[in-house]
């Protein structure tokens, strides 16, 4: 059985990482158009670096939770039966990996990696990222950016994602508001291909009406219940 799981910020909420659109969420406190676009980085690189360094600090303090762990069990359980879990996350944190997930597709990039705007090299980033940071590959200073996908930028791995989605026997969305495209359009693509769809979320998302069934509740309870 091939299962396609799309996760969003809600799966990391109980690890203490804020979501984006809930009360108190990141985009409620910060304007994404001023911090999560290429134009913002060109205009105020220091402010953008400070915003992402603050979020890196938060991720380092956070621990994976029971929902991340349940997906690791699902991944190994499916593999043991000759199936496959395609775990596609909109999240830029590394909690799926730290929970033990072996294959994670980060369609919006990774907060704990940096990319050089001059040579395109992407590297894990240890210390705080700043304008003076030199690219470890080409040595250029001033060109390092967070290796994430900003609004208006092309998400990563779209071809592999489409292939896995079309080959899935079940599509499950976990902890996402269904507000950001193209991720929010995956459920419609699954339905169009006759693939059963399930939503697991704290509350009905913007695309709740497109799911065949749903389980609502905090991810640390709803995901293990759905998986085990």
Can you tell me which of 148, 165, 187, 210 binds ligand BV8, judged by CB under 6 A? 148
The DSSP element (H or E) to which 116 belongs, if any, is strand 109-116
* Residue of 49, 68, 96, 108 marked active site: 108
Q: Binding of ligand BV8 at residue 151 (CB under 6 A)?
A: yes
Can you tell me which of 5, 6, 8, 88 binds ligand BV8, judged by CB under 6 A? 8
Rounded to whole angstroms, the Cα distance separating 149 from 122 reads 13
- Interface pattern 65-104 for ligand BV8 (x via CB under 6 A): -------------------------xxx------------
Rounded to whole angstroms, the Cα distance separating 152 from 137 reads 27
Is 193 known as a binding-site position?
no
For residue 37 the two structure tokens come to: 């676009």
Question: What value does the CA radius of gyration of the chain take, rounded to a whole number of Å?
Answer: 18
How are beta strands 109-116 and 122-124 bridged, if at all? antiparallel
Phi then psi for 167, rounded to 5 degrees?
A: -95, 5
| 108 in active site | yes
- List residues near ligand BV8 by CB under 6 A: 8-10, 13-14, 19-22, 25, 36, 90-92, 108, 148-155, 158, 175-177, 179-182, 201-203, 205, 218-219
Q: Which residues are annotated as a binding site for Zn(2+)?
A: 116, 119, 135, 138
């Amino acid at each position: 059985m091939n299962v396609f799981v799309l996760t969003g910020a809600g799966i990391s909420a109980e690890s203490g990482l804020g979501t984006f659109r809930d009360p108190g969420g990141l985009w409620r406190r910060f304007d994404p158009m001023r911090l999560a676009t290429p134009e913002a980085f060109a205009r105020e690189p220091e402010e953008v670096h400070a915003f992402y360094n603050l979020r890196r600090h938060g991720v380092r303090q956070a621990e994976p939770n029971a929902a991340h762990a349940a997906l690791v069990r699902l991944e190994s359980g499916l593999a043991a039966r000759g199936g496959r879990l395609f775990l596609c996350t909109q999240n830029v944190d590394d909690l799926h990996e730290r929970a033990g997930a072996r294959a994670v597709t980060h369609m919006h990039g990774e907060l704990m990696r940096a990319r050089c705007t001059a040579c395109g090299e992407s590297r894990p980033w240890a210390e705080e990222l700043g304008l003076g940071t030199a690219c470890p590959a080409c040595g250029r200073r001033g060109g390092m950016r967070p290796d994430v996908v900003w609004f208006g930028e092309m998400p990563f791995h779209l071809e592999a994602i489409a292939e896995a989605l079309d080959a899935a026997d079940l599509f499950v969305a976990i902890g996402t508001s269904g507000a950001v495209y193209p991720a929010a359009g995956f459920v419609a693509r699954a339905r169009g291909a006759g693939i059963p769809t399930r939503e697991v979320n704290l509350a009905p998302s913007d695309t709740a009406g497109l799911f065949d069934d749903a389980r609502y509740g905090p991810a640390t309870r709803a995901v293990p219940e759905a998986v085990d």
